[in-house]
Structure 1
């Protein structure tokens, strides 16, 4: 049985473009990182398009003298941009991205071998846009279910994620602002900004991760292990999904855990942590095996909801939750709240009777 564990909840953005992507405007690396520091981010991945910098990401984005921070853990990455779609290549340390770029049109089994050489993380970007992820999902370590601030356009991506989960794949979900056109370097919020900067910038959405320590390696591990949830903006509450697997009243199973069900009822617990509009009428949509299981109001005082269900012994089952309600203000990106609609946060799943090697 899983045990309660110590660690840190960390928030950040997995998909941001700087001026080193030639399809961006006034989005310097230093401005992006300064903004992430200002809003209290713990980690950040600047993922410039490799084809726009001729594949030499390491000589541009990573070598930028402003690619540094004393408070934000910076990961190394780039957006693999190929005829079959886009993949965020992510790593805790510098790697030979040119090697991955050169293999972008290879067969999946050949690309898998290239991926394993440096041990990088493949994350499937915006799987339902015109630049959709067109590779095998057996290559992917995670999937971007929330791209940019607008939630409605991401509903098909969520469906693909549910399809992968129902098929037995334990695939971690994340968000990514995919911000291209940002704020000026001086971060003067009183000046007129581009529409994207006021509706979609760093942190819209925000991905929360439960990591064993504050390090790039631990952050990537948490994403791959599905220890994550996504909020529409960094000021929204974080959603957590737990379960009491042995009936002792202690929540010992968290998002990403996989246990063997006994056929006995299990109590689940949904928590909203921080950022909630006081006494707001948040509702919890519970998804079980791709189907709507229940829609329940969360307690307005405790921001906790408990429910009971029985995952059958010998059968594969997953649960995840979505939170709907009012958006918490994000003054630096004021129009993001209207773009996100009622979708406040999404959890990663709890798994029962899954094969972790599949």
Structure 2
């Protein structure tokens, strides 16, 4: 069986796509990935729409807007997707839900199509009611195209998501593709991880600087990771605040007492799976970050604050959360629940293989 994955480097959508690809490969499935930057994975990379499918990472202004538009509503991109699929002849194609134009092309070919949703279903419902209406005038209404797929996989935690089957009929909540481990014993001096985003959203530098200033006045040890993003200026650390470009969050999280994040779904679910409390400062007002932050706060495992919060407010919130034993226990309990659940990537792989088997069956 061969599965073709259509994706783009849009940030938090990449980790779940790669997790599913690895799960499929472990089952002996031939996996091809189109749309990511070469070198993103050891699996076979298929050249596809280099100007659009590489995504807006590192692009600015009109160039970024044009790239996103082509991924959403370009008839040429739809046509080139049809050409790609006729050439690759997959048994199943897995399409990122944000790639509306490639999805439209994939559906036209007659090959089985599975759509993956990589954040809360509530967010996709909002997207369809807003941006989707405009795209619908061009023949690219998201919900109508999503509904035509053979399968819809919601790669998120159903307990965290306020969307339901009525919003996405016949959809499967696989659970998160992020995994965690049991936390290490707590140290006398609390440890904090700061990870805002791997996308260069405007205005991130002052947020980082306020966080560093707030943490420098506390009896904590902190690691600040910038994801290698060009912040537009220098970010200095402090005696107790280590600023790094890249760092493996999976290695750091087991020893952390608190994470300050931006509300990206992938990062958030990784933190929650480790059972660590989370303070969310949404960076991009047009993304899912505020919804994710609200869901974290609603579930009792963290808090959400505006990115404009002053140093004193950040310091107060951190002190309060570190001293809240009930919060810590709720986060730990939620982490154990997520770790005990079936792995989302494995569940997604099983559904994709089932769709392929149905096509191959005489």
Which of the pair has more CA radius of gyration?
2
Bigger strand share: 1
TM-score by length of structure 1 reads 0.30
Which protein has the bigger helix share?
2
